[in-house]
Amino acid sequence: MFRSPSRRRRVFAIGAIIAAATIVVPTAANAAVNLALSDNGGAVRNTGDKTQEVRSAINGNAAKNVILLIGDGMGDSEITVARDYQYGAAGRFPGIDALPLTGQYTTYSLYKDGVNKGKPDYVPDSAATGSAWSTGTKTYDNAISVDINGKPQQTLIEIAKANGFKTGNVSTAEIQDATPAVEVAHVASRSCYGPDTVACGADALAAGGLGSISEQLIGTRPDVTLGGGSTTFEQTAKAGQWQGKTLFQQAKDRGYQVVTDAAGLKNVRAADQTSPVLGLFTPGNFPTRYAPTTATIGGADAAPVTCQPNPDRLSTDLSLASLTTKAISLLQNKQGGKGFFLQVEGASIDKRDHSADACGQIGETVDLDEAVQAALAFAKKDGNTLVIVTADHAHTSQIVDSTPPTSLSTALTTKDGTTLKVSYGTSAAGGSQQHTGTQLRIAGFGPGAANVVGLTDQTDNFFTMANALRLDRNTAALSNQARASVARGTVRAGDTVTVSAKRFTGDRQVSATVRPGAIDLGQKDVIDGALEFSFDAPTKAGSYSVTLTGAQSGHTETVTFSVR
């Protein structure tokens, strides 16, 4: 093929430019040399051209499993503060910074009512943001997986479960707190923790609602639930089938393995819909990794401190990384078939940021990173797992060189041996520092991770995960193939009548009614699509029917029997 001299010169010139560019990019060999940060190339992070690395990270296949890890309140500033302190300015988090595909997403919530109803509220809370990624629907602050009109929106755990996947929910917060709650409940107010909570209002079972977050959690029935918040489970149901029983008693009656310490969790060998695990290890939130530090006005001018271990921290067997590893081991399907969806939250980055506690938030970021490492280790070995790491909203801590005259600040000695000044400027001493409305980092590894690249919205994350698992989101239709049968078509008065059903996969509970007489048999939990009702036959001879109704799908199945 003929090429003009000018064409050849252009090709040569382009090649020379590429070659020159390659020369100045540090190689792996150069990276091994212990250069000072002040040396040419001494601060670079790339160790060569990353084109092939990025190409190999793009995987458009379906995922068998999805692990979502949330750092509550973990904005870019919080990541940087923790990295600078723990690993130095040129350091890396072994987990958070190891994910190959990254992007940014927007987090705004919506106004619930008034003249701005449906318009952006630029500084969101954890309830609205968590609802966004768990349901794909924007909502208002304080809402748990309901839209701005109060209509429940299906969550990833609910949808994944209906599609035959195992599910898990892990947090270092009370398990009723906003982030874990968005996967298992639907309430108008995030404070609706238990049956004693006045704020439940119309959501309370006694008011005809779906119940408190804790009560709905039991009914949603994830295979694995691990966190804090045992105090709420000591409350007593005020209405419904388990009225008068504590939530702990109810969970046990419904087949849960309830554990409250590391030894109990270690003894759990399996978790499924027949025997799901409910592990609640603290009355409230988990103690933090590092003991608290107190930021003060002018605090950054004082002698810098180093973060100290918290003597109240739980056993390492109950660290976030250990809980993540345990959850994965209980959820993974080693025999093939469907996989799992797991949400993991490092909760107290946010909580310690609210308290202007730099060491507290740093330690919780390190804890989350260790959980990310555990998830990545599994995903790399498995080869079919999507791992996503992100946050719900950003927070207020800032690295500021000068000491703000009216803001709280603290000085820390970092891994580099230099001073890091962290400031908090959105509340006075003793108040609660505020969230910020900035976009957040989102990073991924595995099948479907390319969908986090660029600028997306928090709601995109729902579709990224649901699509990676190829979930059918029309869960009501999944019960259309349900079938019911009666063990004996003709019985004597007082005999036991047993009605069985299977393939109610789009439902978590099914109710039953006997007619004539409209005898309510209550509800049963659906276990892998199946359930069974047993009752005494009516004393009057005649023909009867039993109608089963899916609580979530509304699908009905009717069987008949006769009493002679």
The structure tokens 């990073």 sit at 443
Tell whether residue 350 is among the known ligand binding residues. yes
**Phi, psi at 546, each rounded to 5°:** -125, 120
CA 40 from centre of chain = 42
Is residue 457 classed as helix, strand or coil in its secondary structure? strand
- Nearest CA-CA partner of 256 in 280, 234, 275: 275
Residue type, 103: G
401 is annotated as contributing to ligand binding = no
Q: Is 215 exposed, middle or buried (0-12, 13-18, 19+ CB in 10 A)?
A: buried
User: Does the annotation place 53 within a ligand binding site?
Assistant: no
- 345 known member of a binding site: yes
Cα dist from 417 to 45, 183, 412, 487, whole Å: 20, 42, 9, 75
Residues 21, 10: Cα–Cα separation, whole Å = 16
520 is in an annotated binding site: no
Of the candidates 77, 109, 126, 409, the residue annotated as catalytic is 126
Yes or no: say if 143 and 127 are a contact pair by the CB < 8 Å rule. Answer: yes
- Helices and strands in the chain: count of H runs, count of E runs: 14, 24
- Is residue 126 annotated as part of the catalytic site, yes or no? yes
Name every residue whose Cβ is closer than 8 Å to that of residue 378 and which is 6 or more positions away in sequence.
67, 325, 328, 332, 385
Would you state the torsion angle of the CA atoms of residues 552, 166, 126, 265, taken in this order, to the nearest 10 degrees? Answer: 120
353 annotated as a binding-site residue = no
SS3 category, 424: strand
Task: List phi, psi (to 5°) of 114.
Answer: 75, -170
Would the annotation count 72 as a binding residue?
yes
CA distance 547 to 499: 10
Single-letter code of the amino acid located at 131: S
- Annotated binding residues: 72, 177, 179, 345, 350, 354, 392-393, 435
- Annotated binding residues for Mg(2+): 72, 177, 179, 345
Q: Just list the catalytic residues.
A: 126
- Annotated binding residues for Zn(2+): 72, 350, 354, 392-393, 435
